[in-house]
Structure 1
Amino acid sequence: MSMSPDPVNDRPADLLDALLAPLRLEGVFASRWVMRAPWGFRGGQERNAILHHVRSGECAITMPGAAEPIILRAGELALFPCGAAHEVADRPGRATSPLDLLLPGRPPGATTEVRVDGPGPSTELLCGGLHYDEAGMSPLYRALPDVLVLDRETLAGDPLLTGTLDGLTGRHGGLAALRAFELVFVLALRVALERSDEVPAALRHPAVGRALLAIQTRYAEPWTLESLAREARLSRSAFAAAFTRVVGEAPARHLAGRRMREAARLLTETGVPLGMIPERVGYGSAVGFHLAFRRHFGVPPGEYRRTGRAALSARPDR
């Protein structure tokens, strides 16, 4: 007998939404580049998610250590989920300038336009850098490829994404443009998750995906290997083997990591009393929580709260 698909838990987009929520993508820096060859710029590893959308012309993207450059043509989109270092130029092998010299600072919430005059072909490029909370980044998000490219055919299959991209054309400043870049990034990641073979297997495995969604959104519940296996609709042994194979760590370890990330957020960004945090993140014992936290972060929760808040208040985007 065939089983009809679960309308909620079998949708990869739900898991993606759960992975993105703790990152709190915000503070977009948007830029429009109008360039005539020769031109090229390079950026190092950033604490931003990045997107490049070619409006006209084409460009070459070179990743450190990659054998071949990526040629991005008009209408195509490149995503860098974790802000991987890369070069962008009118052609492969072009000498490049540091991005910090062309766009120093790149404050969140700002937009700008860069023009480069030359004798060669013209390219128009829209770029967005979305600041994220690195502490909220799960191992699964970190496992996404350094770059995901959506070609015109793939984009054409998602009218909402293409419509939002088209709407960026006349929005090079203001809140509408910044919100549109956020939406484009989330929609494009969703398309990549559903259609790209490069996405980690854990995000495409229906049974493991159900357990991952539960861990990501319901981490405070008293999960056991047995209850997670029931959530995945697998036997205990089949679930443990499948989860470890596609995620790269055991279910209990992955659950503990999610709880620790949430505890860190509560300690640095909220005034929740220290004594209430163990229960909020799924620990029945304060002693057990303190031991687990110190093992994970190397310091006790109280010290983490003090140093974390000091670091947060010193950030330039705050």
Structure 2
Amino acid sequence: MADVIGELLASLRLEGAVHSHWRVGAPWAVRGPAAGGTVLHYLVEGSCWVTLADEVELPAAAVHLRSSLLQRGDLAIFPWGAPHTIADRPGREALPLAAARSGARSETSGVVRLPGGPGPETEMLCGDLLCNAVGRSALYRALPPMIVLDRNAVRREPLLFHTLAALAAKHHGGPGERRLISLRGFETALVLALRLALHGEAAKRLADGYPALRALVHPGIGRALTAVAGRYHEPWTVDLLAREARMSRSAFTAAFRELVGESPGRHLTARRMREAARLLRETDLALSVIPATVGYRSSVGFHLAFRKWWGVPPGEYRDSIPSPHGQAVHPVP
């Protein structure tokens, strides 16, 4: 499992990060809609309850995880932006996030005060994080809608603790510098937090509540996922992946679909397409070299697959990257 998680997190990148530092007095409640990326809440002072919206479906074994109390130093992560409510106690009528923001006011410290009451105050750092294609992959979407790390767990990872503390502190410098620090800081915090949550006994406990995570701890499917993640360039077929998993083809295909949520072939294509997009974005590698680099023997086959996946040819995809104001290209549903 460590290899699968390592490959997943190694490829995770943030393409944008918008954060705010809130302070609010009880009674209060804010309801956030489904987000386009990952959401993170770090409790600086006080406490609050985070509750997944009713429309978020949970496995029977995880129903008790719908709501959780956060206290100072705790961290809550919503990997794929599930809608949720934050409040001083469960059951309060919540103000939509847009309305809370419109009624907020900035303090001299840079902290934003939300509409609330005169009671005990809560202070938190909130981040809205836009991830690269890894954040839209089936494996990433298999992560629980909400992961909570208590302050003791956070402190066991000193780099995570100090990164969160730095993000919560007042930053100096120009806007561009602050945006860069925020982007890299939240990327570091997200990777470290997920790594902490998805290793060892913590991962096994999560898998007990969320059956989709069993793909990561399943000995056969885990081996196949590791192979696809790190050796995507090899000439894999379903038969070869089943052999890698030490399973029969039929048992492997059925288990893979059940646990991962897509066929082995589509999962392999997704991994190759993410790597091809990364090479086009981040390197000057010639277009003629990329097909073989990501596992395609035919350039024509690669170009057809890339266009079908991303909606544009590889060359056009690369040409769209330099514009900082251009629209992000996402996989075609």
Shorter chain as denominator, the TM-score bin is 0.7 to 0.9
Task: State the secondary structure of the residue aligned to 1:314.
Answer: coil
Structure 2 stretches of 5 or more lacking a match? 57-62, 104-108, 172-177, 329-333
Match of 2:247 among 217, 230, 234: 234
Q: Could you tell me which amino acid in structure 2 is paired with residue 98 of structure 1?
A: L
Q: What is aligned with 2:106?
A: none
- Work out the CA distance in 1 between the residues paired with 2:315 and 2:326: 19
| Correspondence for 1:139 | 138
User: Matches of 1:301 and 1:181 in 2, distance apart?
Assistant: 30
Q: CA–CA distance in 2 between the matches of 1:246 and 1:304?
A: 32
Task: Give the alignment's TM-score, normalised by structure 2.
Answer: 0.72
Residues 25-52 of structure 1: CA distance to partner in whole angstroms, max 9, x if unpaired? 3654444323212333343333432221
Q: Which residue matches 1:285?
A: 298
Q: Quote the residue 2:269 is aligned against.
A: 256
Aligned counterpart, 2:92: 93
Match of 2:326 among 295, 298, 314: 314
Matched, 1:114 2:112: yes
| Compared CA separation, residues 295 and 149, structure 1 to 2 (3 A) | same
* 8 A contact 1:156–1:162 mirrored in 2: no
Query: What SS class does the counterpart of residue 129 from structure 2 fall into?
Result: strand
- Deviation sequence 1:181-212 (CA, Å, 0-9, x none): 54443233234331313252212223211211
Number of the residue aligned with 1:185: 190
Please tell me the residue identity of whatever aligns with 2:35.
E
AA in 2 matched with 1:262: E
Root mean square deviation of aligned Cα: 3.6
Name the CA shift for 1:148/1:266 in 2 (closer, same or farther; >3 Å). same
Answer yes or no: is 1:275 the counterpart of 2:288.
yes
Counterpart position of 1:16: 5
- Alpha carbons of 1:141 and 1:241: their partners in 2 closer, same or farther (altered >3 Å)? same
In the comparison of the two structures, how many residue pairs are matched?
295
- Indicate whether 1:49 and 2:38 are aligned: yes
Q: CA deviation at 1:114?
A: 2.0
Quick one: structure 1 residues 139 and 122, their matched pair in 2 at CA, closer, same or farther if it must change by over 3 Å? same
**Is the Cα–Cα contact under 8 Å of residues 42 and 124 in structure 2 kept in the other structure?**
yes
3-state DSSP class of the match of 1:221?
Answer: coil
What secondary structure, in the 3-state scheme, does the structure 1 residue paired with 2:11 have?
Answer: helix
Taking the aligned partners of 1:238 and 1:112, their CA distance within structure 2 comes to 56
8 Å Cα contact 2:85/2:94 also seen in 1 = no
Give the secondary-structure state (helix, strand or coil) at the position aligned to 1:61.
strand
The 2-side partners of 1:262 and 1:167 are apart by 28
Deviation at 1:80, TM superposition (A): 0.7
Unaligned runs of 5+ in 1: 1-11, 105-110
